[in-house]
Chain A
């Protein structure tokens, strides 16, 4: 009896390992180009740095994507939509944040409309530093993410699911309510 359970566990682990191998080298991005850091993505994607050799590519919708890129500052209105997009993604999902604005607010640290710390609202797997981060930094960040996926460290989505209440509380505190319904949103 124990043996079969163990066997199943082993199969599950083996399967997990295989799928992690595939996941690590096939990362589809959803680019939510919120801020200025987005300008560094074209270089990272095209001939100079060629993101596709890591198996990365742009995707059109959150359902298909594996990683959500937050490229820069987030106003409250954007945060609302980012949370919606993030929750629509299929698991496992990862989140990469660009620049200091996502870290501590950056130059918008005192703005009434821009949040300071993104990790209060969504779990972030990798930060990429620089204002804006150079394409080398971007590629390095993605390499880190791939390494983390391989080492089973990119567990932001699990953290989000486990601590959903805490995240939800922070989100509500900043946003009032998550979804907005007015004459523009019927």
Chain B
């Protein structure tokens, strides 16, 4: 863990309530916050040189009934990658947009909305389709989405006269 990260984390700790922390790599830090703090944290780190929002990701913690939003921001001066994470309720996934801080988040939010169904209030574009053209089912990257069933229902399967896998077993 290098010095820049130490200073940064100490700085952030002094200002915000940190829920959890993790250091996956030498130049990376993953910090968990309460969801109400996210906007102020992002605004703060942006002022500290993290000008690039590399990606907005989402993790489906189905057992905890939670979605985890991961904002990965990057500092071009120090080369530090910072993950700003928070958890939101899965049954009613709603969050407020960060497009006012990082305008580029517009497309990432659309992405997350499309694949996980998280709604971002204040970003009207996030309801439009982005990757999946004419998607007609529940968001496909949720853990409770059954890809096989969907595939079987939607795309005809080839029927074979003999079951080759079992035929092989007999011999």
Contact = CB atoms under 8 A, between A and B. Distances in A.
- Contact between A and B in the complex (any CB pair below 8 Å): yes
Given A112-B145, A112-B150, A103 B134 contact: no
B129 interface: yes
B148 A110 contact: yes
Contacts of A116: 151, 155-158
Interface of B: 128-129, 131-134, 136-137, 140, 145, 147-148, 150-151, 154-158
Contact of B134 (A113, A114, A176): A176
A131 interface: no
A79 to B, nearest CB: 10
A117 B136 contact: no
Nearest to B149: A110
Contacts of B131: 77
Secondary structure at the A interface, as helix, strand, loop or mixed, is loop
Nearest to A119: B158
Contacts of B128: 182-183
A175 B158 contact: no
A140 interface: no
Secondary structure at the B interface, as helix, strand, loop or mixed, is loop
Contacts of A173: 154
Contacts of A176: 133-134, 136
Interface residues of A, number: 25
A174 interface: yes
A174 B169 CA distance: 35
A138 interface: no
26 contacts: A80-B133, A103-B158, A105-B155, A105-B157, A110-B147, A112-B137, A112-B140, A112-B145, A112-B147, A112-B150, A112-B151, A112-B154, A113-B132, A113-B140, A115-B155, A116-B151, A116-B158, A117-B157, A117-B158, A120-B155, A170-B156, A175-B133, A176-B134, A182-B129, A182-B133, A183-B128
Contacts of A89: none
Nearest to A180: B133
Given A110-B147, A182-B128, A104 B157 contact: yes
A77 B129 CA distance: 13
Interface in A132-186: 170, 173-177, 180, 182-183
Given A112-B145, A112-B150, A117 B155 contact: yes
A173 B140 CA distance: 18
